[in-house]
Amino acid sequence: MADEKNQTVSVESPQEERMKLPNFLLSVKLKYVKLGYHYLISKAMYLFLIPLFGAASAHLSTISYHDVVHLYENLKFNLVSVTLCSSLMVFLVTLYFMSRPRGVYLVDFACYKPKQDYTCTREIFMHRSELTGTFSDENLAFQKKIIERSGLGQKTYLPPAILSVPPNPCMAEARKEAEEVMFGAIDELLEKTGVKAKDIGILIVNCSLFNPTPSLSAMIVNHYKLRGNIQSYNLGGMGCSAGLISIDLAKQLLQVHPNSYALVVSMENITLNWYFGNNRSMLVSNCLFRMGGSAILLSNKTSDSKRAKYQLIHTVRTHKGADDKSYGCVFQEEDDKKTIGVSLSKDLMSVAGEALKTNITTLGPLVLPMSEQLLFFATLVARKVFKMKIKPYIPDFKLAFEHFCIHAGGRAVLDELEKNLDLSDWHMEPSRMTLYRFGNTSSSSLWYELAYAESKGRIRKGDRTWQIAFGSGFKCNSAVWRALRTVDPLQEINPWMDEIHQFPVHVPKVATIT
């Protein structure tokens, strides 16, 4: 048995300083602020051409008919000038259209809702854990504490292979789970959008821990008979933030493949990744991760902007893998009994906080109003450069976003982010209710959260939504969406629609679990 004293793990709001997210503003590095502005400038160079065209248009509007005739008389005898002017205009117009990025539109998305038979209450979870006969009495008690205080409710889902007595974690069952989740979400998405499978030109699937051969993306190609020249990608081992990595990859591909649809499928597989050992740092994942998945349809077709729900505005990716502590804080390995599991380090909260801080600092210049940027930057320079002892200014991200979708990884991180970003219960509600109703569904949790906001009738035309997720490696990624239309909850099909009236529910805060 692993040394339980050395395997102490917290899943709630920590009381010890080392288990808290660091104060984002007390240790912000200027290089990340610089990175944000560099990103803004590099992605918006084409905007500098707009004032030039505006000035030219304003000047042309003052030219009369006689001016045009006079100009023609002067130019018809000067072929060189005409050629140079024409070439310059063609060059500028071509430069503008070639440098302008294609719009990326989210046509619609779907979240898989498992069958009622897959429901796993806290009592069922503990009963099945006891029947396995592999857990010590102490670790059964440990899991009971975690499951009771984790923020998960009584209606989360586990696959049949884990709920069966005895459990049956095998490759065949894992494939069945993957097919049921992926095909269930994709079928609903194709029905909602009316897009034919043959029209999909890009396919990206992310699943961190289950990577069979043929790949999950090949499963989808085979099942839906997708076309032979499809751009297919399968991302593995990238943790809970892989969903936004997939979105970013799709965005890049849509810039070079005109008139295309991109299908992104985000999920995690539970069947082959249930831990049957007694290492406490590996037992936490059993208590938090649950069955789920999502499918998202993106398009770069201008015609789709009229029916799409959202437009992708920004993606910002942060990778802390160069640091050994960050790299090893979420690690799949064998315990001392050669049982494979995912170990969560005691440094997870501090590592997550550093990654979040870097990502948020980079994102700030892209989204914050200029007034907030000036106050933040002036205070930061005064503290870092001039060593002035003044209170750091905390930007108000609520001025940049109407909605927040924070990865529902666990209650501890949600509590700390709510405090650090000064968010209200209303802003945190989609994340907390997703954790309560569906548990941690890994990379797909962000889409259950957005579906919650839609079901509540919160999404209005022009609203901005911030999705932020983090995962092994260690990575933190953000995506910013702008609503292109008001979403009518009465016309939506999603996993919340038949029970949204029951939410929100009160989930009391609790102390640290050790």
Reply yes or no on whether 257 is catalytic. no
User: Which one of 111, 120, 240, 476 is the catalytic residue?
Assistant: 240
Are 390 and 383 in contact by the 8 Å Cβ rule? The answer is yes
3-state SS of 195-209 is: CCHHHEEEEEEECCC
Length of the chain: 514
Cα 158 to Cα 413: distance, rounded to the nearest angstrom: 23
Q: Which residue has the tokens 């960050």?
A: 326
3-state SS of 137-182 is: HHHHHHHHHHHHHCCCCCCEECCHHHHCCCCCCCHHHHHHHHHHHH
For residue 166, whether the previous peptide bond is cis, meaning omega lies within 30 degrees of 0, is yes
User: Which one of 403, 405, 476, 477 is the catalytic residue?
Assistant: 403
**Nearest CA among 420, 407, 430 for reference residue 478:** 407
One-letter amino acid for residue 481 of the chain = W
Residue 16 contacts by C-beta under 8 Å, 6 or more apart in sequence?
A: 512
One-letter amino acid for residue 82 of the chain = V
User: Which one of 319, 329, 405, 494 is the catalytic residue?
Assistant: 319
Reply yes or no on whether 403 is catalytic. yes
Cα 92 to Cα 165: distance, rounded to the nearest angstrom: 70
CA distances from 333 to 22, 341, 441 (A): 28, 6, 21
Cα 263 to Cα 425: distance, rounded to the nearest angstrom: 33
Reply yes or no on whether 314 is catalytic. no
Reply yes or no on whether 427 is catalytic. no
Are 320 and 326 in contact by the 8 Å Cβ rule? The answer is yes
One-letter amino acid for residue 452 of the chain = Y
- For residue 342, the SS3 value is strand
Reply yes or no on whether 440 is catalytic. yes
User: Which one of 440, 476, 477, 494 is the catalytic residue?
Assistant: 440
3-state SS of 240-257 is: HHHHHHHHHHHHHHHCCC
Strand ranges in 189-300 using DSSP code E only, listed in sequence order: 200-206, 231-235, 261-267, 293-299
User: Which one of 139, 207, 407, 477 is the catalytic residue?
Assistant: 407
Catalytic residues: 240, 319, 403, 407, 440
